Amino acid sequence: MNDSTGVPPLPPAAWYASPRNPGRLEYWDGTRWTGRLSPDTPALVPPVMTLGTWTKVGLILSGLVLPAFLISSGIPGFFAAAGSIAFFTAAFVLVTGKRSWAMIPSRKLGVLVLVGAVVALGIGGSLAPKRVEPSALQFTSGSEEQSPSPTATRAPVVKTEDVVVTESVPFEATTVEDPDLAAGTTQVTTAGQAGTRTITYRVTTTDGRETKRTVVSDVISVPPVSQVTSNGTYVEPPPAAPVPFADAGSGCDGNYSGACVPIASDVDCAGGSGNGPAYVSGPVYIVGTDIYELDRDGDGIACDT
């Protein structure tokens, strides 16, 4: 029953369970705890901090920590710190059963505080700023330059350098007619030799990948040597025909030349098997009609063996 002021009256003087010594009886004199234990209980253990002191310490620490997190980390940090304090406090109450010092009078309320702490931690995590990872560079099809995506946080590395490349230049082959070379024969009079071309490119790379290449210079550093082949056109002229003994007054038959073939009823080659009556020593060239049949092999030359 309350008095006229509305404040509940203090319990009467008696032995009660000690709030500072669990399992012990301590004498309450009607206004305060005296510290005297009942005679049938063990000796008084060393005094510890009162429940009110622990509560005050917890409130003071919370009052310092929570504003600090609110200032340094904003609302996400505040929710994270408050959720952490409530979580560990509720967990301690549920595990140890010591509820009064944390101002949590029952385990049921401790469970509710624990759930609230998890919710606060979740809110703090959801409000925390997300770290943006740089995305891969995007390329436009058909374009030589790379363009970073809007979310990229790192500028591309662009480099330009000159690259020198040498290439072989093939030689040409030509053919000329050579009147001093026998017809039907060929001869390489100048051997061909390949030349060298030097090309300088200006190459642009973006993040190590080539994106542009232009020609700065293109020169023939070593000119090629053309190969020349001679084609022979010389044809040896036929031997000149001997002057024929054409007149009968000379006593020689005009159908033959090179030697005087006498005019007779029959002429044979000297040293042959013929029986004359006239003979001739060759060679004898047939320039008309071989009336004496001196050219047995028909090559135009008689008495040549």
Per-residue pLDDT of 8-21, as tens digits, reads: 678 888 888 888 88
Q: Residue 250 pLDDT more than 80?
A: no
Range of the domain at 97: 14-127
- The last residue of one of the domains, among 182, 210, 234, is 234
Cβ-count burial of 131 within 10 angstroms (0-12 exposed, 13-18 middle, 19+ buried)? exposed
Per-residue pLDDT of 43-83, as tens digits, reads: 444 444 444 555 555 666 566 666 766 676 677 767 777 76
What strands lie across the sheet with 227-234, from one edge to the other?
A: 173-182, 227-234, 186-190
- Number of domains comprising the chain: 3
CATH number (domain holding residue 194): 2.20.230.30
Tell me, yes or no, whether 47 and 123 share the same domain: yes
Question: In terms of pLDDT, which residue wins out, 151 or 159?
Answer: 159
Residue 272: inside a domain: yes
% residues pLDDT > 90 (the chain): 22
Amino acid 169: pLDDT = 92
pTM, two decimal places: 0.30
Q: Which of 114-128, 179-193, 288-302 has the lowest mean pLDDT?
A: 114-128
First-to-last C-alpha distance (Å) of the chain = 176
Amino acid 148: pLDDT = 53
- The last residue of one of the domains, among 111, 127, 143, is 127
Residue 141: inside a domain: no
Residue 150: inside a domain: no
Tell me, yes or no, whether 257 and 162 share the same domain: no
Residue 107: inside a domain: yes
Tell me, yes or no, whether 187 and 113 share the same domain: no
Residue 243 gets which letter from DSSP? P
Tell me, yes or no, whether 179 and 204 share the same domain: yes
Confidence of residue 130 (pLDDT cuts 50, 70, 90): low
Residue 147: inside a domain: no
